[in-house]
Amino acid sequence: MDKNFQFGSLTDVGLVRKVNEDFIGNFETVNGEIFVLCDGLGGHIGGANASKIAVESINRFFQYQVYAYPKDALQQALVYAN
């Protein structure tokens, strides 16, 4: 893939929580670049782990899928991650 752009990512713990449970991922696939942000739902048990697993699952889904319609693929990836 020809990368003619730069990107960055940042999450913030905010003013209430002590731990940032959000997880960010970006992955190169046969279809292009995928960017994912999952909210850890601070205050819930296992929130950080859940957001990490969700990002990793979405990555796995897109590594093995060739799709014609990105909207449909994204919906399927979210079902797969759950």
pLDDT in tens, 25-76: 998 888 888 899 998 887 788 889 999 999 999 999 998 888 888 889 989 9
Whether residue 52 is contained in a domain is answered as yes
Bridge pairing between strands 23-29 and 32-38:
antiparallel
Whether residue 31 is contained in a domain is answered as yes
pTM score > 0.75 for this model?
A: yes
- Write out the residue range of the structural domain in which residue 75 sits: 23-81
| pLDDT exceeds cutoff 90 at 16 | no
Whether residue 69 is contained in a domain is answered as yes
Non-local (6+) Cβ contacts of 81 within 8 A are 53, 54, 57, 58, 61
What total number of domains does the chain contain? 1
Whether residue 40 is contained in a domain is answered as yes
